Structure 1
Amino acid sequence: MNEGVLIEKLRKGKPTAYKYLFSEYYQWLCNYIYNLSGNRSLSEDIVQEALISFWEKRERIIITTSLKSYLFKTCHNQFLQHLRTQKIKFDELDKIKWEALTEAAVEEETEFKLAKLNILIDQLPPRCKEIFIQSKLEKKKYKEIALDLGISVKTVENQMSKALHFLKTNATLFLL
């Protein structure tokens, strides 16, 4: 079939012209994309998508070269679009993997620091440790702690001051 006649029949939506186009060019186009991708199934998918897109846009398409060149260029562009999409997917996967690794590392570091901090808390004198735990971990007010332990609020303040000073001084050496 003459290429000009074929293009005109395609524009008019003649199914026989599309069947002819498909039977004439499909295998060549698949082989071309297969040479680029190395994947037979992918090459068939890309060519089919390109031919479907060609059919859907047939009325608006302007072909300045040969139909064969136009189809090869269309398939080539479709393949490049596929690669871009895959790159975006891989970039997104890399981002997710990096975030997961970073999150795991931060979690691990936090657990490590907490374990060291617990060791430091265990080194506090018994009464000082008890007051610190009630204040910081149990979130009790100084007045409540004083009532629980039968001591003055001022004693609670002094013990907390000692505990915080000890932890601050030793944490900078110990947690590094």
Structure 2
Amino acid sequence: MKNSSADIEKALITGLTQGDEKSYRLLFDLYYEWLCNYVYKLSHDSTLSEDLVQNVMLRLWEKRSSLKISSSLKNYLFRSCHNEFLMHLRAQKKEHDILDEIKWQTLFDMYDEKEDQHEADWNKLEKMLDQLPQKCKEVFKLSRLEQKKHKEIAEILGISTKTVESHISKALRFLKTNVSGLFF
């Protein structure tokens, strides 16, 4: 009398649920390589495929006494391996999302540091400008901060363009000698 594959599967399941190591070994030998090939088709990574199938087989042994396999053993193992692969993908996505979050947070932190440094530089510049004579300071701000032309500044302040140029030169010399590493 020839045993059908369904009879063999029932015997393996029964042996497994009773803790029979021979049944487990036979089950492992029958399905391991086949399941690895299946997972490899999903992952294209042989090491990962073996790891995932080994996880499924280990869990099968650990939960042997409470196993409830209603479909065929083969289908149960396929589904288990497929679910293991999906859980791996979810874990990878979470890891990727966390790395992305860290990357963006680092970029924002760097930006904030640059902004803080930029603000500190502006404050330092303002303090230096406060040391200039009032007219020189006004001319420099109109020229460099408001981007006005020399002729416009001269008209606004009622002075000659030569005086505007003189004030700007004086302010630049003063700032270059007293402020290092700022915007110049």
TM-score (norm 1): 0.70
1:60 and 2:66 are equivalent in the alignment: yes
Structure 1 residue 41 displacement after superposition = 0.2
- State the 1:125 CA deviation: 2.9
What RMSD over aligned residues (CA atoms) do the two structures have, in Å? 2.2
Question: Secondary structure in 1 aligned to 2:102?
Answer: helix
Alpha-carbon offset, residue 64 of structure 1: 1.0
Provide the residue aligned with 1:81 in structure 2. Answer: 87
What's the offset of the Cα at 1:110? Answer: 1.3
d(CA) in 2 for partners of 1:12, 1:85: 33
Distance between the aligned counterparts of 1:39 and 1:10, measured in 2?
29
- 1:84-119, Cα deviation, whole Å (9 max, x unpaired): 111111111111111100000110111112112211
Q: Which runs of 4+ in 1 moved over 4 A?
A: none
Q: Which residue is 2:98 aligned to?
A: 92
**Residue 46 (1) aligns with residue 52 (2):** yes
The aligned residue for residue 115 of structure 2 is 109
Aligned residues: 132
2:33 to 20, 27, 31: 27
CA–CA distance in structure 2, aligned partners of residues 39 and 77 of structure 1: 16
Distance in 2, matches of 1:125 and 1:27, equals: 81
1:79-158 map, 5 Å:
79-125=85-131
User: How far did 1:60 drift?
Assistant: 0.9
Output the CA distance in 2 between the equivalents of 1:2 and 1:41: 30
Deviation at 1:74, TM superposition (A): 0.4
What CA distance in whole angstroms lies between the structure 1 residues aligned with 2:131 and 2:46?
Answer: 73
Distance 2:76 2:64 in 1: 12
Q: Which runs of 5+ in 1 are unaligned?
A: 127-165
One of 11, 20, 27 as aligned partner of 2:17:
11
Residues 17-53 of structure 1: CA deviation (Å, up to 9, x unaligned)? 1110111000010000000001000000000000000
Counterpart check, 1:2 vs 2:12: no
| Matches of 1:10 and 1:39, distance apart in 2 | 29
The CA deviation string for residues 115-162 of structure 1, in whole angstroms up to 9 with x for no partner, is 122111101137xxxxxxxxxxxxxxxxxxxxxxxxxxxxxxxxxxxx
Aligned-partner Cα distance in 2 for 1:74–1:59: 17
